[in-house]
Amino acid sequence: MAAHRVTDFGGLQIEYDDRVLAPRQWTTAQARWMADVLRRLPDGPVLELCSGAGHIGLLAGVYTGRDLVMVDASEAACEMAERNVAANPVKGSVDVRRGRVDEAIAPEERFVGIIADPPWVPSARTSTFPEDPVTAIDGGEDGLALALVCVDVIDRHLAPDGAAILQVGTVEQAEAVRERLRTGLRVVETRTFGDRGVLVRLDRRG
């Protein structure tokens, strides 16, 4: 049985174990940015794709009080997310769904905010992170396989005035996402966090 650990994440007490990715402190920035953007957007729920133990979405939910749907393919991640929902002062409702990002959302569902944290390490480099579960970090040949699926899900389910914050690994990956946008979305802003990761804000094209 995997040993459970608890870490502080922006004031939340987040439980995790070896079966899921350990919370990375810098990603509080993804929750804060989403919450900041949501202050200027209409009422409506938030979707978190690739939620893992659920900490990024939960922190955004604590800041905003909005209802939250979390999606992750891993049974262990969803188990941890459920425990973290129960252990923290969440104001809105939280619906943890186990499934693939492109299968877990009904066609008619719309979200004002979408957070996405797909695996983004190129397959050939996953051995550089032996402590991380491969399924949590392996983003395919260029690291963007699931990120691009998330962009399609965002395009299908983002409300007309909504905003999404997508995490990738590098400025080059962020640029590749921008170049490969075939949909009704546009990159509004990119924020870089040293060599830890990059956040990309996507809105609908005006």
Closest-approach residue to ligand SAM (CB): 52
| Interacting positions 104-123 with ligand SAM (CB under 6 A) | 117-119
Q: Contact letters (x/-) for ligand SAM, 147-186, by CB under 6 A? A: ----------------------------------------
Using the minimum distance from each CB to ligand SAM, give the nearer residue, 23 or 45: 23
How far apart (Å, rounded) are the C-alpha atoms in residues 181 and 148?
9
- The yes or no reply on residue 12 touching ligand SAM (CB under 6 A) is no
How far apart (Å, rounded) are the C-alpha atoms in residues 115 and 34?
7
The count of C-alpha atoms lying within 13 angstroms of the C-alpha of 97, restricted to the half-sphere facing its C-beta, is: 18
From 60, 68, 77, 158, residue interacting with ligand SAM (rule: CB under 6 A): 77
How far apart (Å, rounded) are the C-alpha atoms in residues 76 and 52?
8
Phi, psi for 94 (deg, rounded to 5): -130, 130
- The yes or no reply on residue 21 touching ligand SAM (CB under 6 A) is yes
Helix, strand or coil for residue 186?
Answer: strand
- The yes or no reply on residue 84 touching ligand SAM (CB under 6 A) is no
User: What b-and-e string marks burial along 97-117, b requiring 16 or more CB atoms within 10 Å of the CB?
Assistant: bbeebeebbeeeeebbbbbbb
Residues that bind ligand SAM (CB under 6 A): 20-21, 23-24, 27, 50-53, 56, 71-74, 77, 100-101, 117-119, 135-137, 146
